[in-house]
Amino acid sequence: MTRSPHPAPPPAAHSHKPDDRGCVLGLDVGGTGMKGAVFDSGMKPLASVHRPTPRAQGPGTVVDAVADALAELGRTATEYRKHILHAGVVVPGIVDEDLQKAVWSANIGWRDLPLAALLQGRTGLPVTLGHDVRAGGLAEGALGAARGARESLFVAIGTGISASVISDGRSVRSGGYAGELGHVVVEADGDPCACGGTGCLETVASASAVAAAYTARTGRAVSGAADVAALTEQGDPAARAIWNRAVDALACALATAVTLFAPQSLVIGGGLAEAGRLLFDPVEAALAARLTFQRRPVVLRAELGDRAGCLGAGLIAWQEAGRAHVSTPTGALTS
């Protein structure tokens, strides 16, 4: 557990205002690690927790680890003399927020799991389940790059590719199936995808696909897409061809999304966004070349980084508690 270097002082003994003692918990469960925090009403993280996700030991062990992380955060909130109003937990895969089920996750292995109910039973806390990328989009809209936009598209490009659609100020869920941008077909005769389809965006433009394509073309192993980006900047012809292919595929899928949802802001995050202008400049140009009558979004780099999911989980918890955050977050979710 890592705590903020300047924690809020305990409330005065005579104070009974809800915000003096109230807090929420936010926990982002990823395929490799979990990041959680205790948030006050201003979304300031009073304390944070970082743990590995034990997915190799099976989905049951992951549920145990999530419950343990929530319990640890709960104990810390008690030490701060804060009353826990709600907990938000966000996970990858297909998540049905209405039924509060983790429908499916290739990374973790659960299927049709009533995760919110299980965690409530284990911890005694009121828990709301959400989707990690939709939570990230919520956070970027409330606290990050898309502040002030009622329509936004947040795209996370990492091992996979997923999107969060905010329309008229509301997250588009569609039973948990909305936002699967990574499975828009961009190459009809392309490579097979893990989803069972062929030529999906993830097979071309995800960080893992970019790295795998370079190794397949050259026979030289790279540690990830960052290496391919560096080689592209150095003028490596194979790297440049693979990078351009990924950019073109991404622009194709984004043009479809912009046509359908007309976002004011298009926010790109995840590991591939670390390439900066090497990614953003050609994507903006290729997207603009594909748009005619459509509303043209402002293309922005995500501001919240790997904190977005956890912050989004905290915002979900405050929403479920019947309150909105009162200011932008101060402090950091430290490692």
Q: Mind listing the pLDDT tens digit of every residue in the chain (335 residues)?
A: 444 433 444 343 333 344 456 999 999 999 889 999 999 999 999 999 999 999 999 999 999 999 999 999 999 999 999 999 999 999 999 999 999 999 998 879 899 999 999 999 999 999 999 999 999 999 999 999 999 899 999 999 988 899 999 999 899 999 999 999 999 999 999 999 988 999 999 999 999 999 999 999 999 999 999 999 999 999 999 999 999 999 999 999 999 999 999 999 999 999 899 999 999 999 999 999 999 999 999 999 999 999 999 999 999 999 999 876 544 443 445 44
Q: What's phi and psi for 332, nearest 5 deg?
A: -140, 155
Q: Which long-range contacts (CB under 8 A, 24 or more apart) does 115-120 make?
A: 115/63, 115/66, 115/89, 115/91, 116/89, 118/63, 118/67, 119/63, 119/66, 119/67, 119/70, 119/87, 119/89
pLDDT score, position 5: 38
How many alpha carbons fall within 13 Å on the CB side of residue 212? 10
pLDDT score, position 333: 57
pLDDT score, position 87: 98
User: pTM for this structure?
Assistant: 0.86
pLDDT score, position 324: 62
E-state strands within the chain: 2-3, 22-29, 33-39, 45-52, 83-91, 94-96, 101-104, 111-113, 127-131, 152-157, 161-167, 170-171, 265-269, 298-301
Cβ atoms 28, 313 nearer than 8 A:
yes
What is the dihedral sign for C-alpha 220, 225, 226, 229? positive
pLDDT score, position 159: 86
Checking phi first, is residue 168 left (phi over 0); if not, alpha (psi -120 to 50) or beta?
left
Q: In what order do the strands lie in the sheet with 94-96?
A: 94-96, 101-104, 111-113
pLDDT score, position 194: 87
Across the strands, what pairs with 167? Answer: 170
- Pairing verdict, β 265-269 and 298-301: parallel
pLDDT score, position 287: 98
Q: What's phi and psi for 143, nearest 5 deg?
A: -125, -10
Distance between CA atoms of 165 and 156, rounded to whole angstroms?
12
pLDDT score, position 8: 43
